[in-house]
Amino acid sequence: MKTPTTYPCARCQGKGRLAIYANVLGGVCFKCGGTGRQKTRPAAPSRRWSVNAIRTTDHHDCVVFHVRAKTEREALNKASATISRAREQIYDPTTIRVTPWPD
């Protein structure tokens, strides 16, 4: 019988305990139940992207906010959706661009 493949827990890095939560059940990781292993492969980490756009009031290019996404296309789609939901159009939606946040 084949044993199932397990991966180190993404939350506790395979230790089974989280020192910052030592006051809650001795710091046992609730994601893995204290075993330090999980059955599913951890998701790939997403990057942080800086969203820039031109203000309609003074026409300056500025950083509007930051977004987490795996690809540049996904970051641009999230940024466009967020800016289009704004009550007032402070930033020009046609000038949105994303740049990777330095790690």
56 and 26 in a common domain: no
CA distance 3 to 6: 9
Domain range for 71 is: 47-100
Contacts of residue 8, defined as CB under 8 A and 6 or more positions apart, other chains included, come to 14, 36, 37, 38, 42
Do 73 and 49 touch, CB atoms closer than 8 A?
A: no
| Residue 77 in tokens | 């789609």
Tally of structural domains, the chain: 2
Q: 102 and 53 in contact (C-beta within 8 Å)?
A: no
Is the predicted pLDDT of residue 3 greater than 60, yes or no? yes
CATH code at position 96: 3.10.20
Residues 34, 17: one domain? yes
Q: What are the tens digits of pLDDT across the range 10-59?
A: 889 889 999 888 888 889 999 999 999 998 888 888 899 999 998 888 88
- Do 55 and 38 lie in one domain? The reply is no
29 and 61, same domain (yes or no): no
The tens digit of pLDDT for each residue in 66-92 reads: 999 999 999 999 999 998 888 888 888
What pTM, to 2 d.p., does this model score? Answer: 0.61
Same domain, 29 and 56: no
Based on the fold, state whether residues 93 and 58 are members of the same structural domain.
Answer: yes
Q: Examine the domain organization and report whether 79 and 55 are in the same domain.
A: yes
CA–CA dist 53, 99 (Å, integer): 11
Residue 30's pLDDT is what? 92
Q: Are residues 54 and 93 in the same domain?
A: yes
